[in-house]
Amino acid sequence: MTGTAQPTRLIVTEATRIVIPRHIKLRHDAGRGVWVILAPERVFSPDPIAVEVLQKCDGQRTVGEIADQLATEYQAPRADILTDVVAMLQDLADKGVVKS
């Protein structure tokens, strides 16, 4: 496998631009009335906060910009929101659900 860089773990920071890869599907399941994330041999059940964050992950906005937006929308301290969002996205990155 010459020429292939060793894969590394994505460490999510304020500056990371997160995308949902093509093979991961965030979808509202009408029958069950819940949101689901379809992934290889996994189905995750995201909570409303995760859904809102994931819908903002367009590869353009940074994690910091997403936190700015949520802080405005929810009139909550930005620092707290940023900590939560980074932790959530790190967890999802480690599960292979999001990448940068």
Partner 1 sequence: MNEIITKEINTSSHAVELQPEPVCARAPVGLLAELTHRCPLQCPYCSNPLELERTNTELSTAEWQDVMRQAADLGILQIHLSGGEPTARKDLEQIVETAAKAGLYQNLITAGVLLTKERLQKLADLGLDHVQLSIQDVDPENADRIAAYKGGSAKKREVARWVKDLGLPLTINAPMHRQNIHSMKAIIDYSVEVGAGRLEVAHIQYYAWALKNRAALMPTLEDFQRTAEIVEEAKERLKGILVIDFVVPDYYAKYPKPCMGGWGRGVMNVTPSGRVLPCHAAESLPGFTFDNVRDRKLADIWLNGDAFQKYRGTSWMKEPCQSCPRKEKDYGGCRCQAFALTGDAANTDPACSLSPMHQDWAKVAALESHTRPPEFVYRRMGKGGTTPHMSEG
List residues near partner 1 by CB under 8 A.
Answer: 1, 4, 6-11, 21-23, 25, 29, 31-32, 34, 36-38, 40-47, 49-50, 53, 88, 91-97
Q: Closest distance between partner 1 and the C-beta of residue 61, in Å?
A: 18
Q: Closest distance between partner 1 and the C-beta of residue 11, in Å?
A: 8
Q: Which is nearer to partner 1, 78 or 99 (CB)?
A: 99
Q: Which of 21, 19, 16, 11 is nearest to 62 (CA)?
A: 16
Q: Closest distance between partner 1 and the C-beta of residue 77, in Å?
A: 19
Residue 56 and residue 69 in contact, taking contact as beta carbons nearer than 8 Å: yes
- H or E segment at 94? helix 78-94
**What tokens does 34 get?**
């819940």
